[in-house]
Homo-oligomer: A and B are copies of this chain.
Amino acid sequence: MYLGTPGQIADERITLSHGAGGRASHDLVEGIFLRELRNPMLEPLGDSALLAAGRRQLAFTTDSCVVRPLFFPGGDIGELAVNGTINDLAMSGARPVALSAAFIVEEGLPVADLKRVAASIACASLRAGVPIATGDTKVVERGKADGLFINTSGVGCVEPGVVLDPTAVRPGDRVIVSGPIGDHGMAVMAAREEVKLDADIRSDTAPLHFLVAKLLRATAGVRCLRDPTRGGLATVLSELARGAEVGITINEPAIPIRPAVVTACDALGVDPLYVANEGRLIAIVSPDATGTALVALRAHALGREAAVIGEVTAASPGQVRLGGGSSEPRVVDMVAGESLSRIC
């Protein structure tokens, strides 16, 4: 359980909570990395940094994938690494141009596993139309890693006129989610040996840049985009509410979620709102653009089940309130504790 002061690291040693994507992760980033490395590109802590290159604006992002196990229903570490970085670029409104892939391999990894991952990366790269431009391979001794870690960084071009920024969010804006939540996290949990689930749940890992391009072409009313990965829907909405200094009210029954995911979450005592997604986005859109945005999203295979799930409010700035269901209304916060570690 996390008990620190925001922005301060109370612990003497790094714990799994620091990697869970919630409050402890934020405190680590703000208390150590931002404090030391502060600069105008880094400070927004967005999915990508924005750089000026001549008259073009570039997006630049990095992500290490440490998912366990390496292969799970619906995907593997390679596909996840490619899609994850493409999505970080897409959430900034950038067209992905190229990715890097850097492998840290544990001595003893079967060469067949590495070949399978490389083939999966190739397939994901081809599907997305984004080449792997550069790479690196390091090998560490047996027992000094866990099979394979992959870092993918990415460069994209921000289309002229596109500005996606949490500070543009206004009361009255609607919250849209592009599809059912919780599939990725529960697929990975189910693939772990220690967990036995009957349900057939597959990761939702997918590249979202085509869906985003369709959405941004359809309407100029998109305020900002986020992919609810580590920490899940609740954590990302909490970050948005804090960042934009607004309240967010969510109509819980409107959140799309598959019955199998609900069952699996119940069985494991996990709240699906905190479970990672790898092929979903949250869009905050102006009220008048909501209909157009929904139509655009639903016209794409990856947004077929898009739904309006809530609204931005002037009241309760920084808070995300859930209501509309059979249970009492409640306030949700960023994920605390270890949650599901090594889910991406």
Contact = CB atoms under 8 A, between A and B. Distances in A.
A12 B114 CA distance: 10
A95 B36 CA distance: 23
Nearest to A52: B97
> For A55, A100, A115, A134, which residue has the most chain B Cβ atoms within 10 angstroms?
A134
A143 interface: yes
B13 A111 contact: yes
A220 interface: no
Interface string A254-294: 00000000000000000000000000000000000000000
B32 A118 contact: yes
A64 B105 CA distance: 11
Interface stretch (A144-152, A231-239, A318-326): A144-152
A135 B55 contact: no
A162 interface: no
Q: Which secondary structure dominates chain A's binding surface?
A: mixed
Contacts of A157: 53-54
Nearest to A25: B137
Given A37-B118, A63-B102, A98-B41, A29 B137 contact: yes
Contacts of A196: none
Interface string A37-63: 101011000001101011110101111
Interface of A: 9, 11-16, 18-20, 25, 28-29, 32-33, 35-37, 39, 41-42, 48-49, 51, 53-56, 58, 60-64, 66, 97-98, 100-112, 114-115, 118-119, 121-122, 125, 131-141, 143-146, 149, 151, 153, 155, 157, 341-342
